Chains A and B, each alone.
Chain A
Amino acid sequence: MDSKEELVAKLKVQIIEALKLEDKKPEDINPDEPLFMDGLGLDSIDALELIVILEKNYGLKIETAEEGKTIFKTVHTMADYIISKKSA
């Protein structure tokens, strides 16, 4: 399994690709910055794309909206969620 650093790097690339953030590079994304609102400024459609990223690339399904709020806080929280599920 990827280390957390490797996973964060992968997630950044996947987010840029899926969300069509063509003016962003992986290094522009601070993994501790909020994905929504002030940080990357993602919107509700982007939230759906994040769900697809987890399902398509990691086989993980988000069951509730509440769960999503915690998981999709930052790139780091996404990585933590993936690691916790994969090691469970």
Chain B
Amino acid sequence: MTSGTSFQITGYCKISPGLVYRNGEVVFQSHSQSTDISETAAEAYRALKINYPKFFKMDRLCRVSYLAAKLLLDRRNLPLLYNPYNVGVFLSNTSSSIASDLPFYGTIRDAGNFFPSPAVFTYTLSNISLGEICISSGIKGENCFFHHAADDYGFFPSAAADILHAETSACIMGSIEYFPPEVKTVFPEKHSRNHAVLVTIEKKPETRSGEDFPAFTAEEYKKIYA
């Protein structure tokens, strides 16, 4: 455990419908009216000319996760800056992998048309997105995906000291909440955000002149998260 260890926020990426931000700058802006962040992620992927052969084979939660992590790591390549075994990934949301769970259920709910899709089934766990980030980036450290009953931006800043092992030097951490429009029609009572907010946090980041990284506190994270 790393009680008392302070991490600093060395970068952030935020994906919301139609917009992708990194460290305060707009990386991509969509002209479509889509409210689906996976469509924003796919548009950004094409516009930024990213070439990852697996991108469109991943489910939509993983596409968003992959893109946010990739944009962060393009600026702070944690598995190169540190021992990749000491770099972790910790994500959270309230809607788990519902965007793949429902399509999978669609392949099995009719006994007369029972054809479970292996490709969809693969993504019926939100922690697959951790694997996709690790596989694509070379991160080999600890990882975990938390599910919360309600949106909780304060969880990671307050829990980081307890959940991270002492040897973990840096992490990708944050919320990947993917609750697409068609799921909202099935669960109209659930009010969920539709965004990705990831940060890179590091224990002792190397700084260039002029860089001043804020501490990873709930107050600082809220500024990004809000």
Question: Is A32 an interface position by the 8 A CB rule?
Answer: no
Q: Within the complex, what minimum Cβ distance (angstroms) separates B94 from chain A?
A: 25
Interface size of B in residues (CB-CB distance below 8 Å) = 11
**Main secondary structure on chain A at its contact with chain B?**
helix
Question: Is A60 an interface position by the 8 A CB rule?
Answer: no
Digitize B127-155: 1 where CB-to-A-CB distance is under 8 Å, 0 elsewhere: 00000000000000000000000000000
Question: Is A62 an interface position by the 8 A CB rule?
Answer: no
- Which of A13-21, A65-73, A74-82 sits within the interface? A13-21
Q: Which residues in window 7-64 of B have CB below 8 A to A?
A: 42, 53, 55-57
Cα–Cα distance between A21 and B56 once the two chains are bound (Å) = 6
When distances are taken between beta carbons in the complex, the residues of chain A under 8 Å from B213 are none
Give the interface centre of B42, B56, B118 by most chain A CB atoms within 10 Å: B118
- Taking CB as reference atom, which chain B residue is nearest A53? B115
Question: Is A33 an interface position by the 8 A CB rule?
Answer: no
Cα–Cα distance between A18 and B57 once the two chains are bound (Å) = 10
Interface size of A in residues (CB-CB distance below 8 Å) = 14
Cα–Cα distance between A38 and B119 once the two chains are bound (Å) = 20
Cα–Cα distance between A52 and B56 once the two chains are bound (Å) = 20
When distances are taken between beta carbons in the complex, the residues of chain A under 8 Å from B116 are 52
Q: Within the complex, what minimum Cβ distance (angstroms) separates B40 from chain A?
A: 15
When distances are taken between beta carbons in the complex, the residues of chain B under 8 Å from A20 are 56-57, 119
Q: Within the complex, what minimum Cβ distance (angstroms) separates B222 from chain A?
A: 36
When distances are taken between beta carbons in the complex, the residues of chain A under 8 Å from B56 are 20-23
B residues whose Cβ falls under 8 Å from a Cβ of A: 42, 53, 55-57, 115-119, 122
Sample of 17 A–B contacts (CB below 8 Å): A18-B119, A19-B57, A20-B56, A20-B119, A21-B56, A21-B57, A22-B42, A22-B56, A23-B56, A41-B53, A45-B119, A45-B122, A46-B119, A48-B118, A52-B115, A55-B115, A56-B115
- The 5 lowest CB-CB distance pairs between A and B, nearest first, are A48-B118, A22-B56, A56-B115, A49-B119, A23-B56
Given contacts A45-B118, A56-B115, list 20 more A-B pairs with CB under 8 A: A18-B117, A19-B57, A19-B119, A20-B56, A20-B57, A21-B57, A22-B42, A22-B56, A41-B53, A45-B119, A45-B122, A48-B118, A49-B117, A49-B118, A49-B119, A52-B115, A52-B116, A52-B117, A52-B118, A55-B115
